[in-house]
Chain A
Amino acid sequence: MPRESGTSRRAFLRDGALMAGALVLGQSKVWTQVFHGPFGEAVKRIDPDCTLTIAEIEWELSPKKKIRTSTYNGQVPGPLLRVTEGKPVAIDIANKLDHPEIVHWHGQWIPVAADGSMEEGSPMLPAEGRSLVQFVPKPAGLHWYHTHAMAHRDLKRGLYSGQFGVLLVEGRENPGAYDQEQFIVLHDWEPYYVASGDGSLMVNYVCGSVNGKMLGHDEPIKVRESERVLFHILNASATEPHWLTLPGHRFQVLALDGAPVATQARVELLRLGPAERITALVEMNAPGVWVLGETRRDYRDAGMGTVIEYAGRTGKPEEPRDFKLAWDYKTFGDTTPKNFTPDVTIPLVFTSKFKGHGALDQWMINSKSYPDVSLPALRQGLRHRLIFENRSTDDHPVHLHRHNFELVSIRGTPVSGVRKDVVIVEAGATVEADLVANNPGNTLFHCHQQDHMDSGFMALFKYA
């Protein structure tokens, strides 16, 4: 399974099918074992369904751009894991790196021990260590797995690396009738620090990729006229939001962060903050050769795009035009927002502390940085209204582990029917979201920008 370098789109999908067939079995000694059932109870160890090996490789983004990075199973993205909701899985994880690692199952409502967050209490995987993680996938939808290790100032670690992959949890209900499905995984590479517009350091990147390849260096996605293509799109960037378009086509958004939306609106432009996912259906009714990619030209020039090729069509791909960058979660909510009454209200105010033009800001929630942030305990079964108030000049894609939440207002405008586990709280904005506490155990809340979470933007919810 491990490769030395480049994996094609076909191979990426094939590997996913192999994982679905659950055949890769690790035979090495298990150093750390984590066995948990759906409610955290200890269960008997089962044979692993697959193995993830974390190791550093040379990866070819294009013939002229090769990088060294750590990956899962020697490929970028890691193998597509297709699992069934409610059917237990066991995953053998081998860490071939010289430092501890941890794998987070992003979007899954699973016990702390399996979730993959050191802050919650999940065990780290030691250097050269091995562990077996076992959980019952839930909920269905497009999710992902990725390293949850800190990077701090090492821009080769954490999500700056190639340690990410798609976890597709298939439910009983099909998300919609379609002829083929495609996975689109965005990532930015070769990070470096630059001065930001508001005066502190920020991370920028040399290049970007879709499914581990720069634009023009992967096989085109082949489609036929009138086909309905289901796109599973994940932004696995450590820090960058991305805006995607496919000229001449519209995306019918079916789900956000794996959760079906109330209104399946058709839009030309998709915004995905770091860690956000969109499941969208596209009717292929504009024959030609197109670039599905970043609407911003500079990002496409840096590699963020892939080619969609209709059968019988050739030629230079047509690139997206510039769009006014606008996105509103409310587009996908109930036409008439429902009104919920919370049992508990929890304000979460985001601010930063300036540490110099040559330093990263220190981030705070309610005036404290992790681990000093103190939050009220969650009470099982109650509806908690989280009030995200962003008093900083940065947008923040905030993420809640092991749960999701339903948006109830954005900048004071009511919304319902949009459930997320990551939401971008724009600079100066307030977003309210309701969390029904139904998965006891420590629950990490953090900004999914790697540099922000490394600089204090995290807090731990505990259950009463």
Chain B
Amino acid sequence: MRRQLVKGIDLNRAVHSPIRGAQLKSVFTFLAGTLVLCAGEQMRAQGNYEIQVYGADTVAPRSTMLELHSNFTAEGHPALDGVAATNHAEHETVEITQGINDWSEVGFYIFTSEQSGLGMQWVGDHIRPRVRVPEKWRWPVGVSLSMEFGYQRAKFSPDTWTWEIRPIVDKTVGRWYFAVNPALERTWHGPDVNQGIGLAPAAKISYDFTKKITGGFEYYADYGSITSISSLRNQQQQLFPAIDLNVSPDWEINFGAGIGPTAATDHWIVKAIVGRHFNWGHKG
């Protein structure tokens, strides 16, 4: 769910506990199979409730990451067909991610929205298991695979039940960081249920200006169905200049401002992520 610029591990914790390779490989196989089963439908993403390019790292075992995603749409869309407006909407998302072992985690989301006249509204919840290629496999790039499933109220998202599979590849070279997330989405309930798999890639490039300050660009898009790519006008595309502050292994801070140039995209969004990492059971 995140790029952890600093892993936030207790250095006394051994990362090299044995991996059950066969078990992990079967998880990858299962997820790949699920991907195939998803063919034929399109879904919408969880919208601008959580705006983040995922890194390949997972939260360490016996630890929890608690994050607050705050996104304000400065210039968005008005209410339409019973769906709440995004314009001037403040979305607050609580994300809780628990590390399972050194190659998997589970994340849980609580989405909320606040708009003038509506007050704070519960939007929905998602759950997101994720597995990664352990670092001890010593691959030249970080690789993980996340699967996200959940519900959002129709008032905020016409597609209520959705599923997303997100391959994640990243690489850090010196001061440079690169990540790509070619996410595939599917709607299980809602108007897009017959539109097949949608392609919603995201990418990030950043540079470590100092040990504590990293700056770069994040790109988010939704191209529509993979079998029928939408016209440029109907695609969602956003570019966020963004800053990561690496103030402590225990904290994650990211903020940025996004521009959406296409008609289908919210035009201006300001986002911030604040995360706190908690270790459980470490001694010494």
Given A194-B15, A207-B16, check contact A356 B176 (CB 8 Å): yes
Residues of B within 8 A of A325 (CB): 12, 283-284
- What 10 A-B pairs come out closest when comparing CB atoms? A325-B284, A358-B172, A298-B14, A356-B175, A354-B211, A356-B174, A197-B249, A195-B7, A298-B17, A192-B138
Residues of A within 8 Å of B37, CB to CB, are: none
Which partner residue on chain B sits nearest A190 by CB separation?
Answer: B136
Q: Mark A192-215, 1 if CB is under 8 A from B, else 0.
A: 111111111010111110000000
Residue A296 at the B interface, CB < 8 A? yes
Once A192-B136, A195-B4, A359-B174 are accepted as A-B contacts, the answer to whether A205 and B16 lie under 8 Å apart by CB is: yes
Residue interface bits A164-207, CB-to-B below 8 A is 1, else 0: 00000000000000000000000010101111111110101111
Is there an interface contact between A323 and B283, defined as CB atoms closer than 8 Å?
yes
Residue of B nearest to A155 (CB): B138
A388 close to chain B: CB less than 8 A: no
Q: How many Å from the CB of A15 to the closest CB on chain B?
A: 29
Which chain B residue shows the least CB distance to A353? Answer: B211
9 sampled A-B residue pairs with Cβ under 8 A: A193-B135, A199-B6, A207-B18, A296-B12, A298-B14, A298-B16, A301-B18, A356-B208, A358-B174
**Among residues 295 to 353 in chain A, which have CB atoms less than 8 Å away from a CB atom of chain B?**
296, 298-299, 301-302, 322-326
A197 in contact with B7 given A301-B17, A354-B211 (CB within 8 Å)? yes
A357 interface hit (Cβ, 8 Å): yes
DSSP class of B's interface residues: helix, strand, loop or mixed?
A: loop
CA distance A207 to B17 in the complex (A): 8
Q: Does B10 contact A (CB under 8 A)?
A: yes
Q: In the docked arrangement, what's the CA distance between A326 and B283, Å?
A: 10
Check B14 against A302 for contact (C-beta < 8 Å): yes
With A196-B11, A325-B12 in contact, is A355–B175 under 8 Å at CB?
Answer: yes
Asked, given contacts A195-B4, A355-B174, whether A302 binds B135 with beta carbons under 8 Å apart, the answer is no
- Whether, in the assembled complex, B268 has its beta carbon less than 8 Å from a beta carbon of chain A, the answer is no
**Residue in B closest to A191 when the chains form the complex, CB atoms:** B138
Chain A residues contacting B17 (CB-CB under 8 Å) are: 298, 301-302
The interface bits of chain B over 164-181 (1 if a CB of A lies within 8 angstroms of the residue's CB, else 0) are 000000011111110000
| Interface residue? B57 (CB, 8 A) | yes
Confirm or deny: B160 has a beta carbon within 8 angstroms of a beta carbon on chain A.
no
How many A residues, CB 8 Å from partner?
34
Rounded to whole Å, the gap between the CB of B11 and the closest CB of chain A is: 5
- Size of interface on B: residues with Cβ below 8 Å to A: 34
A414-461 interface with B by 8 A CB criterion: none
Cβ of B122 to closest chain A Cβ, rounded Å: 35
Residues of chain A lying within 8 A (CB to CB) of residue B177? 357-358
Q: Which of B1-46 contact A (CB under 8 A)?
A: 4-18
- Alpha-carbon separation in the docked complex, A213 to B177 (Å): 38
Knowing A190-B136, A204-B15, A323-B284 are in contact, say whether A195-B6 is a contact too (CB < 8 A). Answer: yes
Q: Count the A-B residue pairs with Cβ separation under 8 angstroms: how many?
A: 101
Residues B136 and A204 in contact, CB atoms below 8 Å apart:
yes
| B157: interface (CB < 8 Å) | no
* Residue B86 is within 8 A (CB to CB) of chain A in the complex: no
Q: Are A194 and B135 in contact (CB under 8 A)?
A: yes
Known: A192-B135, A301-B18, A326-B284. A199 touches B5 (CB 8 A): yes
B246 touches A (CB below 8 Å): yes
Is there a chain A Cβ closer than 8 Å to B210's Cβ?
yes
Which residues of A sit under 8 angstroms from B7, Cβ to Cβ?
Answer: 194-197
Q: Mark B200-243, 1 if CB is under 8 A from A, else 0.
A: 00000000101100100000000000000000000000000000
The closest CB in chain B to the CB of A200 belongs to B211
CB distance from B114 to the nearest CB of A (A): 35
Which listed residue, A195, A202, A324, A359, touches B5 by the CB 8 Å rule? Answer: A195
Given A190-B136, A195-B6, residue A296 in contact with residue B14 (CB < 8 A):
yes
| Cα A296 to Cα B16 with chains together (Å) | 12
Q: A192-B135, A356-B175, A357-B6 are in contact. Are A298 and B13 (CB under 8 A)?
A: yes
Chain B 144-174 interface 0/1 with A at a Cβ cutoff of 8 Å (1 = within): 0000000000000000000000000001111
- How far, in whole Å, are A195 and B208 apart by their CA atoms in the complex? 14
Residues on the B chain within 8 Å of A298, using CB = 13-17
Known A-B contacts A199-B5, A298-B13; A206 and B136 likewise in contact (beta carbons under 8 Å): yes
Checking B14, B18, B249 against A198 with a beta-carbon cut-off of 8 angstroms, the contacting residue is B249
Q: Which residue of B lies closest to A192 (CB)?
A: B138
Are A195 and B57 neighbours in the complex by a CB distance under 8 Å?
yes
Tell me the minimal C-beta distance from A67 to chain B in angstroms.
13
**Contact between chains at A357 and B214 (CB < 8 Å):** yes
Chain B residue numbers with a CB within 8 Å of A356 are: 172-176, 208
**Which residues of the partner chain A approach B12 to less than 8 Å between Cβ atoms?**
296, 325
A355 vs B10: C-alpha distance when bound (angstroms) = 22
**A358 near B176 (CB under 8 angstroms)?**
yes
The answer for the CA separation of A205 and B11 in the assembled complex, in Å, is: 13
Contact partners of B14 in chain A: CB under 8 A:
296, 298-299, 301-302
B173: which A residues are within 8 A, CB to CB? 356, 358
Q: Could you say which of B13, B208, B283 contacts A357, with CB atoms under 8 Å apart?
A: B208
How far apart sit A322 and B173, CA to CA, in the bound complex (Å)? Answer: 37
Q: Quick one: which of A198, A204, A205 contacts B6, CB cutoff 8 A? A: A198
Q: B8 contacts which chain A residues (CB < 8 A)?
A: 197
Distance between A431 CB and nearest chain B CB, rounded to angstroms: 20
Residue from the set A195, A204, A324 with the largest chain B CB neighbour count within 10 Å: A195
**What is the minimal beta-carbon distance from A100 to any residue of chain B, in angstroms?**
26
- From residue 68 to 118 of chain B, which have CB atoms closer than 8 A to chain A? none
